Structure 1
Amino acid sequence: MWTANSLRAALIGRLVPALAVIGIAGAAAAYALGERYANLAYDRSLSDDVVTLAGQLALREGKVRVDLPSQARKWLLANEGERVLYRVIDLRDGTVLDSIGNLGAWARDAEPGGAVQFRDVTVEGVSVRVGSLVTDVPQTEVPVLIEVGETLGRRQRVTRQVLLGSLLLFTLMIGAAVAVIWRGTQVALDPLKRLAEQAAKRSGANLQPLELALAPVEVRALIEAINLMMARLSRAMQSQSHFIANSAHQLRTPLAGLRLQAQLALDEAQTLPLRARLLEIEGSARRAAHLVEQLLTLAKAESGSLGMMQQPVDLVELVRQVIQRLLPAATLKDIDLGYEGQATTAMVLGSEVLLGEMLSNLVDNAIRHASNASVVTISVAATPEGFTLKVADDGDGLPPSVMENPFARFNSIDTVAGGAGLGLAIVKEIAEQHLAVVSNQSAPHRGTEIAVSFRAALQGSSSWP
């Protein structure tokens, strides 16, 4: 992903400008070198033309003649569309013996001998490269100045081609560098991606250290800091769970005693007002005992103390057991509680105790919130990944305030209905410990439906698929 905080974006954002500067500098250097070597090549050709023209000079009757046949003249002037000029000057008196075009002023202090000299001149607004040679007419001591010039079109075309080729090369190099960095960072960050996937698959109670060996050396300090933080958080959560569990255990006995005393007092109460108060006391003690049991279950689920046996559990058989246990409570409210589905077995891996507690909470919530003479349906369906367990009722559904986060602890609608407000929170915790996904599929005013999606158990395996 290309974002402002992306490592790839940072690397490429720093590399591309640097490579662009290098590319511009390289292109400028290539242009200068291209211009230099183009001049050397074409100057050599121009020098050959000067020497060739010098070989066509002869002295006849005391006068220097340019013996240049028409074919030789055509060859000399034919230069790939470039304009070729030349001039031959008798240095004894400065007479121009032969010329084509205007080459401007000539160097009057030129000395005989030496190599061809080059200069750039501008004639009638056109740049011309001129090669000059001072030499004697063959077999005489008569000095002459021979100049051959040509326009710079060929040289400029070659230089531009070198420049364009260099720019294309550097552009391809920058593109290749970006691709290499893009792929390189992807490969380098793959271990972090695997760590992220590993962490994402964990339940909220799994605070085991991340595998340090998977991380690149440069980020191991960060992973170590995260592991230390998770260790501190794990200790804090264990301390909290132990406190809740110990408190729940301590409250069990007095609450049981309170309920027993209230029930005994009900047997002896003679007046209706007194019986009403005792019934309220017994109901409050029953709800408090239920809250204590839920707190204890949640603490055990979070700490994993109930144990993940990681053995095959048949969801269909578990549904049958839960229906059998909660059918009396459903019958009291004239609720039709039943199973619906074609699956006869649905094997998943996990703890039968925890999964039974999870399903019991789902069904108990549905019975508590459903109105009299309604329907609560449990279903198990096969999916490509495994199985989906659903508990649905045809009641009024969840209010909008609860729909946003029905798995929050101490849910207000659950506490109003006489529950502890922890049922769906326990469902979510147990589902996450089984690597299952719990979701609210309810629709407003169309009942409540909670689904838990499991992965199927591998045949003959006692580990997670």
Structure 2
Amino acid sequence: MSGFRSLAGQLMLWITATITLLWLVAVGFGAFVMHDEFGEIFDSALQETAERLVPLVADDLQRRDDLTMPRRIEAARAPSEEEYLTYQVRDAAGRVLLHSHTAAAEAFNAPLDVGFWQGETGRIYTAATPDGTIFVQVQDSAAERREAMVEGSLALLLPVLLIVPVTIAAVWFVVRRVLSPVETLRAAIGEKDGGNLAAIAAADLPLELKPILRSVNLLLARLRAVLAAEREFTANSAHELRTPIAGVLAQTQLLLSELRDAPTRPRAQQIEASLQKLARLTEKLLQLARAEAGIGVAETTFDVADVVRVVVTDFQCASQDPARIRLQSDLAGPALREGTADAFAIVLRNLIENALLHGRAGEPVEILVSETGNVRIRNAAARLSEAELAAVRKRFSRGKSLAPGSGLGLSIAERLLAQMRASLVLTSPIPGRVDGFEAEIVFPAAG
């Protein structure tokens, strides 16, 4: 029944049902009219036959002297042929004087009154001589009338069995053709998501659909404007927040250099640690705000290999143990993907930072780029259960780790990857190993 939930399915169902119902009503009305017309035809035949027989029978009886026994009229047709009309000739006393070869010798159960009479086995018409001494009763078969009615009704009904499937096919063709612009517009709107907010091209749409297209394009334009405003705001906010925090941290560090042996130095060190924690949290919150603003949504592309190489180089340069970060790429050429390089760099930075913070100290962090452009970040760690893997995906959730952090890195990465039509797959243990943690960035197949 799912097909009938669509507009085309409902139109096909209702149009076909309506046409079929109208045909059946027409057949019923035709059968009703035909019943009356057949009744008039049969009655006319009965009356005509009886009235023609009256003078012939009267003349024949006047020539006969022996009328004590009913006389049977022998059939002139073959015995196998069906006789539709039977008749009896009766006198005023009701005795049967003559009867057709298929009629019974017993008198019809009909009164000797001129006119029609309806019996159980058929309809009878009685005609009489002018002096009222001879009566001719002609009967037709009720079964024959029913058979004629049934055959006539079937003759009207059988074409409907052919008309209904032809109607369904014609309705399907017409509905599909008429609704094709609706399907085109539906498909065009269905393609719009966070990564595709371009205006829909004006197609050859009927007048009823053009206002819908215009409204959708206006909505898309407003969405693009809102997203652009949010991105600009978060970018400015990031700059405005980083600057004062960095200034306060620098002043605190200068103060620490002056308080080498002062008793207040531990308190100044606590302030420095709190400011550094605040700076990291602020950075993550700004990244989250940028992710919520849709910085990954763009109609541009970036090269996965270039971004991975730049980010890994930055980490190696800032690390005290550059050899711990290992990059392996199986790409034979550029791997272009939808989105922005900035957003993908934020994803990589969060995942690599998590691997460095939560991986075993001294164990390498591997960044593997596959031939298809997918990126895997691996680090040595205790095996995580399914529940623990689900928990680390939640915002501000850090699992059992004691390493510093805000618990936002994976949330930011997942949000940005969703905007780039990619996904983040977390696995523990690493395939082929007994422990470890792997985060894989899976891009859709390149078109």
Instruction: Say yes or no: TM over 0.5.
Output: yes
- Measure how far apart 1:105 and its partner are: 3.0
For 1:202 and 1:429, locate their aligned partners in 2 and report how far apart those are by CA, in whole Å: 18
* Cα distance change on mapping 1:394 and 1:189 into 2, 3 Å: farther
What is the one-letter code of the residue matched to 2:123?
R
- Measure how far apart 1:343 and its partner are: 3.7
Structure 2 partner of 1:2: 2
Find out whether 1:129 has 2:129 as its counterpart.
Answer: no
Per-residue Cα deviation, 1:287-308 (whole angstroms, up to 9, x for no partner): 4444555565566677688995
* Cα distance change on mapping 1:120 and 1:451 into 2, 3 Å: farther
* Cα distance change on mapping 1:213 and 1:317 into 2, 3 Å: closer
Structure 2 partner of 1:326: 315
- Measure how far apart 1:375 and its partner are: 5.0
Match of 2:390 among 379, 385, 403: 403
Match of 2:142 among 138, 143, 152: 152
Structure 2 partner of 1:79: 82
Match of 2:398 among 390, 398, 413: 413
What is the one-letter code of the residue matched to 1:388?
N
Helix, strand or coil at the partner of 2:427: coil
Per-residue Cα deviation, 1:143-187 (whole angstroms, up to 9, x for no partner): 854332132223213323444565565577667666766676666
Structure 2 partner of 1:242: 232
- Measure how far apart 1:128 and its partner are: 0.4
Match of 1:344 among 293, 318, 332: 332
Report if aligned partners of 1:209, 1:231 keep a CA contact under 8 Å in 2. yes
Report if aligned partners of 1:391, 1:449 keep a CA contact under 8 Å in 2. yes
Identity %: 23
Report if aligned partners of 2:294, 2:416 keep a CA contact under 8 Å in 1. no
Per-residue Cα deviation, 1:17-74 (whole angstroms, up to 9, x for no partner): 7557645533431321342454466567767865886797453763399997634276
* Cα distance change on mapping 1:338 and 1:184 into 2, 3 Å: farther
Find out whether 1:28 has 2:33 as its counterpart.
Answer: no
- Measure how far apart 1:98 and its partner are: 0.6
Report if aligned partners of 1:202, 1:432 keep a CA contact under 8 Å in 2. no
Q: Which runs of 5+ in 1 are unaligned?
A: 111-116, 457-464
TM-score in terms of structure 1 length:
0.68
* Cα distance change on mapping 1:79 and 1:21 into 2, 3 Å: same
Find out whether 1:368 has 2:357 as its counterpart.
Answer: yes
TM-score in terms of structure 2 length:
0.71
Q: Which runs of 5+ in 2 are unaligned?
A: 430-434
* Cα distance change on mapping 1:304 and 1:20 into 2, 3 Å: closer
For 1:429 and 1:437, locate their aligned partners in 2 and report how far apart those are by CA, in whole Å: 10
Structure 1 partner of 2:74: 70
For 1:295 and 1:194, locate their aligned partners in 2 and report how far apart those are by CA, in whole Å: 41
Structure 1 partner of 2:109: 104
Report if aligned partners of 2:128, 2:134 keep a CA contact under 8 Å in 1. yes
Helix, strand or coil at the partner of 2:109: coil
Q: Which residues of 2 match residues 15-414 of structure 1 at below 5 A?
A: 22-23=22-23, 25-39=25-39, 57=57, 58-59=59-60, 62-63=63-64, 70-72=74-76, 78-79=81-82, 85-89=86-90, 96-99=96-99, 100-101=103-104, 102-108=107-113, 110=114, 119-122=116-119, 126-132=120-126, 145-163=135-153, 166=156, 191=181, 194-204=184-194, 207-210=197-200, 213=203, 217-218=207-208, 221=211, 224-225=214-215, 228=218, 231-232=221-222, 234-271=224-261, 276-294=266-284, 310=300, 313=303, 315-327=304-316, 336-339=324-327, 342-350=330-338, 351-374=340-363, 376-382=365-371, 387-395=373-381, 396-397=383-384, 400=387, 403=390, 406=393, 411-413=396-398
- Measure how far apart 1:438 and its partner are: 1.3
